[in-house]
Amino acid sequence: GRIAHVDAKVVKRLRTAGAIPVCVSNVSELCMWMESYNYVYGLTKNPYSLRHSVGGSSGGEAALVASSCVPFGVGSDVGGSIRIPAAFNGVFGHKPTGGLVPNDGQHPISGGSVRHALATGPICKRACDLLPLLRIFATPSKLADAHSLALPERALGDCEAVDLSKVRFVSVRASQHWLTTRVTREIAERQDKIADFFCSRGAVVERVTSIPFLSRSLQLWSSRLLLAQHEKSRNGGHEEIASVARQIPFKRYMWEGRAGGL
């Protein structure tokens, strides 16, 4: 595994606020898959059912929170890596708006064109804990940020002052990719209730069943990440990426991909 030599800025802010880091949890290879499995630490299993997945890539963190090993955790999300584990483990996770929380200390990608797509956010058992944690994540501290040279961050606004009538929500009910299954009736009903709630508060909710190019979303997302890796390699980060990539059993993935029709 990779051992950090210094704390990330978010970790510094948490320490300053009184938090005590307990451990570093398991993730997927390169933090880029919806399953928390790698050749170093193996497979993380769901605390509610060992036959089920914890999701990824922050699946180890969500599993620790779900099993009450820790009161909250820190995750990162560029394609669902906070939101998927939170859903799979029955906890709450939030991917902040890009630029609100610093990504300093992320591995392997934190800059370039992916900087505003990648976000560091909280994972916790209770929804009411999300906002207090987000304030710590997003608020500069004189002690934690004393020697910071990071880019300016966006300010966290007053959530109570948000005028929902000026916010546009999109409720998507589309399954246009061959890797996805149909949305279950239970999830569809819950989604409709959430949409109805925002409508009752004056928000504009657009219910969508088809999105152009949704079937190509995986390719578009992957291309953007590859571009970010290329940008980083031009800035001298190629060896950092290569050192991680060398640990991936490509032959096995290629064989499994062929067997599964990928």
Q: Are 245 and 30 in contact (CB under 8 A)?
A: yes
pLDDT at 5 over 50: yes
Instruction: State the DSSP H helix or E strand holding residue 172, giving kind and residue range, or none if neither.
Output: strand 168-172
In our burial notation (b when 16+ CB lie closer than 10 A, e otherwise), range 202-238 reads ebebeeeeeeeebeeeeeeeeebbeebbebbeeeebe
Among 61-75, 114-128, 222-236, where is mean pLDDT lowest?
222-236
Selected residue with higher pLDDT from 122 and 154: 122
Task: Tell me which DSSP letter residue 235 carries.
Answer: I
Cα R_g (the chain), whole angstroms: 19
pLDDT at 228 over 80: no
User: pLDDT category, 116, cuts 50, 70, 90?
Assistant: confident
Q: What is the pLDDT of residue 213?
A: 74
Q: Are 169 and 198 in contact (CB under 8 A)?
A: yes
Selected residue with higher pLDDT from 252 and 179: 179
Topology given in CATH for the domain delimited by 9-155: Amidase signature (AS) enzymes (3.90.1300)
Mean predicted confidence (pLDDT) in 50-77 = 96
User: pLDDT category, 148, cuts 50, 70, 90?
Assistant: low
pLDDT at 113 over 50: yes
Question: How far is it, in rounded angstroms, from Cα 191 to Cα 108?
Answer: 34
Q: Are 145 and 260 in contact (CB under 8 A)?
A: no
pLDDT at 94 over 90: yes
Among 26-30, 78-82, 125-129, 143-147, where is mean pLDDT lowest?
143-147
Selected residue with higher pLDDT from 178 and 187: 187
Selected residue with higher pLDDT from 34 and 175: 34
